[in-house]
């Protein structure tokens, strides 16, 4: 499975709303169906990098709220409520560096250790009883 990172800019888009299972990007989304998206944000004071949600893309198309953008979405996924801090994870610096300090927009995650780390967090979260929800 392919994995992608999308950074949710709180100062531009407002607070994260759990369970949206949708990203908007200026990049092409045609290859995203079947890929897993990891949405990262940096809420709170002091701000911490956190996973907001993850989902496997079901559909793609033009964004409904921006004529120049594209969107990818799913009807179900896992919202992290509350968001799970990741900035102390051993692989976090590598993920941030690979994503240009989250300035590259939608970015494919190619580092195996980062993917494993994200999957471990998801597994721990689901083990605690948090379920994927429609």
Strand ranges, E, within the chain: 3-8, 22-25, 36-41, 50-56, 59-62, 70-73, 78-85, 107-109
Closest C-alpha among 56, 54, 51 to residue 82: 51
Note the pTM of the prediction, 2 decimals. Answer: 0.90
pLDDT tens, residue by residue, 84-130 = 999 999 999 999 999 999 988 899 999 999 999 999 999 988 877 65
The answer to whether position 133 is within a domain reads no
Provide the number of structural domains found in the chain: 1
Residue 133: band (very low, low, confident or very high) from pLDDT cuts 50, 70, 90: low
Average predicted confidence (pLDDT) for the chain: 89
Tell me the residue range of the domain where 31 lies: 3-127
The answer to whether position 132 is within a domain reads no
pLDDT tens, residue by residue, 55-89 = 999 999 998 877 779 999 999 999 998 889 999 99
Residue 68's CB is within 10 A of a number of other CB atoms, namely 7
């Amino acid at each position: 499975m392919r994995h992608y990172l999308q950074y949710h800019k709180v100062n531009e888009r407002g607070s994260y709303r759990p369970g949206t299972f949708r990203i908007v990007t200026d990049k092409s989304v045609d290859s995203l169906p079947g890929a897993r998206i990891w949405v990262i944000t940096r809420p709170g004071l002091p701000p911490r990098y956190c996973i907001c949600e993850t989902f496997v893309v079901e559909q793609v198309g033009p964004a409904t709220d921006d004529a120049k953008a594209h969107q990818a979405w799913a009807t179900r996924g896992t919202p992290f409520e509350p968001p799970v801090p990741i900035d102390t994870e051993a692989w976090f610096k590598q993920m941030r560096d690979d994503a240009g300090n989250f300035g590259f927009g939608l970015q494919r995650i190619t580092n195996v250790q980062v993917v494993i780390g994200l999957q471990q967090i998801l597994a721990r979260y689901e083990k605690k009883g948090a379920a994927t929800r429609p």
